[in-house]
Amino acid sequence: MAGRSGELQRTLGLSDAVIIGAGSMIGAGVFAAWAPAAEAAGTGLLVGLVVAALVAFCNASSSAQLAATHPQAGGTYLYGRRQLGPIWGYLAGWGFVVGKTASCAAMALTVGAYLWPEHDVAMAIAAVAGITLVNIGGLSRTVAVTRVLMIVSLTALTGVVLAGWSSPAADLGRITPIDSGAFDMLRSAGFLFFAFAGYARIATLGEEVRDPAITIPRAIAWALGAVLVVYAVVGVTTLAVVPATDLGDATAPLRLVAEAGRFDVVAGVVRIGAGVAALGVLLNLIPGVSRTALAMARDRELPHWFAHVHPTRSLPLRAELTLAAVIIGLITVLDLRSAIGISGVAVLTYYAITNAAALTLPDVRQRRRAVAVVGLVGCIVLVAALPPRVVLTGAATLLVGLVVRVLARRQPG
């Protein structure tokens, strides 16, 4: 609800902010990221999980600092332009669009892997088409929907844990010894970072929480800590039930855990819960990416054709339909782990720019500066640790973005 001055009312407390932040993180990513992480590091993925959470915390903290200084919408696309210059803002915006587009493809493939594994690609395409039609119809994702989806995801994850420990194959001895090196664990962190997507949502609540200077940093720490505990329990259970080599080969890793349990109904709950969670993420991501593309097109950073808003539906129809077509194209050429990896390269680039922008803020406290440095170095290291093919593909995509910018700015007004 807006106040008299046109600002949002500060009605949210610490617990509300924590729920919103945790709900934005506990989604479909946790149902998919274990496989490439296990392939990279085996049981060492648990160390990778902690590293990914640490980098996410630093990124979210830097985002919160920047949001307090620049309370307008736009995220690091805006922060980069204001603090570092237009080209860095553009790279952040392009990285967001590319990364989240790849995330959409990964989420759609997750839908297929859990709900109809025999025809996962066809199911993924149908999911994107269906969600696009829903968005065009005007359904928006609210905080209430976020909470419902978090409950669905937590129910499914609870089912995974219960099923796992009901299995006669469950053995904590599988977790040790950690048979991977530091580089392998960093690579697993690069993949598992995908499961923390959405954590910076808390930083956007500056106008809606009471005492934001205190509430937002606390909410970030509590939400990330709570999610890390949930993921750690799921990760330990998964490794205790499924050998790391089998986990690395899976397309729907948590389905293996659920099916190893004694109760068939739990396996069904997990499959449906994972599918619903992935659909919910798509419902949020597709309009978010299309609106970022709209904002960039208005600034002549993307072709101005995308700056069109449909006169009766009041939404960026051209951007949304083009995005859906691109996602469907990616689904046909990428597998799930490649989509997760490319998303990681682009989104980590986005947050590297976030941390660099935070370092340029005036009067930054020494502790906050250290957090931004750790976040910047962490993003760069995690990108470098991802598979070379994925890194090269991501880097090439970012270079293509620079070409797109040059062409877009040459268009007549």
Residue owning tokens 């007549």: 412
Assigned token pair, 186: 């960093």
Assigned token pair, 112: 């297929």
The pLDDT tens digits for 67-125 are: 878 876 678 888 999 999 999 999 999 999 999 999 999 999 999 999 999 999 999 99
For residue 84, report the phi and psi dihedrals to the nearest 5 degrees: -120, -25
Query: Is it the case that residue 3 has pLDDT exceeding 60?
Result: no
DSSP 285-326: HHHHHHHHHHHHHHTTSS-GGGG---TTT-S-HHHHHHHHHH
Spatial distance between the Cα atoms of 206 and 210, rounded to a whole number of angstroms: 9
Q: Are 16 and 146 in contact (CB under 8 A)?
A: no
Query: Is it the case that residue 351 has pLDDT exceeding 70?
Result: yes
pTM for the model: 0.90
Residues 6+ apart with CB under 8 A from 75: 63, 92, 96, 200, 204, 292
Paired with 278 in beta bridges are: none
CA dihedral 316, 322, 327, 332 (to 10 degrees): 160
The CATH fold assigned to 14-409 is Amino acid/polyamine transporter I (1.20.1740)
The pLDDT tens digits for 108-119 are: 999 999 999 999
Spatial distance between the Cα atoms of 102 and 52, rounded to a whole number of angstroms: 19
**Strand intervals (E) in 62-140:** none
Spatial distance between the Cα atoms of 372 and 368, rounded to a whole number of angstroms: 6
Instruction: Name the residue type at position 375.
Output: G
412 upstream amide cis, omega within 30 of 0: no
Q: Rounded mean pLDDT of 144-152?
A: 77
User: 180: phi > 0 → left, psi -120 to 50 → alpha, else beta; which?
Assistant: beta
Query: Is it the case that residue 223 has pLDDT exceeding 70?
Result: yes
Assigned token pair, 165: 């420990």
Spatial distance between the Cα atoms of 131 and 125, rounded to a whole number of angstroms: 10
